[in-house]
Homo-oligomer: A and B are copies of this chain.
Amino acid sequence: MIVNGKAYRSIWFDKGAACVKIIDQRWLPHDFPIVELRNREAFIAAIRDMWVRGAPLIGATAAYGVATQMVIDPSDNSLQETCNLLLATRPTAINLRWALDEMKDLLEPLSERERAAIAFERATQICNEDVECNRKIGVYGLELIRELSIDKPLGAPVNILTHCNAGWLATVDWGTATSPIYHAHKENIPVHVYVDETRPRNQGAHLTAFELGQEGINHQLIVDNAGGHLMQHAKVDMVITGTDRTAANGDVCNKIGTYLKALAARDNGIPFYVALPSSTIDWTIDNGISDIPIEERDAIEVSKIWGKLDDGTIARVQISPDDTPVANPAFDVTPAHLVTGLITERGVCEASREGLLELFPERRKASSEEE
């Protein structure tokens, strides 16, 4: 998408520089540094230290990391070691393991001299597949926005609330929850987005507000507390969020606070949609609330907040008394009955096992075989 008037993906191979480039997202929204990744160490640091984040982008970065290493040393040992090192950077990221398995399975049977070219081809393909998947989510989600826009007075925007950053910066391009919004904007459907700041890590304020501002999409940043009040006063027409993991029954695990917005949407008769690539569906889990473990993160995320001082320096301020005890669950689960629909790359479905199986019938076979 657009930054400073120029189109970007979140990761790309620069032919001129003969290397992979990424946006070092740690400094957003205050700075927008482009970084060259030229060796394994750079890729490891980029994933481990969260220069890149978001499951799809992490997977794509790892794939390019393997490809880059195959130029330097295409041996079996190098391939194995690189996959191990990259996997260890963010051990819980599902897409990371998937991308590394893809690369290893593809490259292992090949001769050493074939590996680099094939590896770059597959890494680029992984990126393109992500972009295409998100584009489709956008096309299906666009229709939901279009329907709401029909009942609006001419020129009045469809008001969409989103939580966290399920934007293009978390994927290779388009994003998931943002893709319908970008598609609507491109079709000249007026939209206005309420951006939850998303404490504790402020991904909404840091990333989503940045993305939307750069694309010229009408938006307002709000604190996470504000959405209920806005819905109560008919200022929100729909909610679209992303998800980190979707249970097979349609329960949705997403950034902490999503559940509260789903409750408010239900209380005020506002549709609540979740946009997701089918890769986030965990077909083995049938009850998200009881069966998805919720990561408890470091207290410092709550007690100290990153931002820009008046002199432009990036710094962290402590908001609580010294040594205040903290609880910091990172995700919550929104039960399926609060979700109006799931927007996937194959279309929109009810948030239920039956709804998902209608879009992914091949899973019906798989699950009956398991039984």
Contacts and interface: CB of A to CB of B under 8 A. Distances in A.
Given A223-B328, A309-B315, A317-B317, 12 more contacts: A200-B223, A205-B303, A205-B319, A209-B324, A221-B303, A221-B325, A224-B225, A228-B259, A228-B332, A232-B259, A305-B305, A306-B317
Q: Which of A29, A316, A326 has the most CB of B within 10 A?
A: A326
Interface residues of A, number: 62
A305 B328 contact: no
This protein's copies in its complex? 2
Contacts of A213: 321, 324
Contacts of A228: 257, 259-260, 263, 332
Given A309-B317, A317-B305, A318-B307, A256 B223 contact: yes
A367 to B, nearest CB: 27
Contact of A29 (B227, B307, B321): B321
A213 B24 CA distance: 39
Interface of A: 29-30, 194, 197-200, 202, 205-206, 209-210, 213, 219-230, 232, 255-257, 259-261, 263-264, 267, 289, 294, 302-310, 315-321, 324-329, 331-333
A206 B329 CA distance: 21
Contacts of A198: 225
Given A230-B329, A327-B194, A327-B226, A305 B319 contact: yes
A259 to B, nearest CB: 4
Nearest to A331: B229
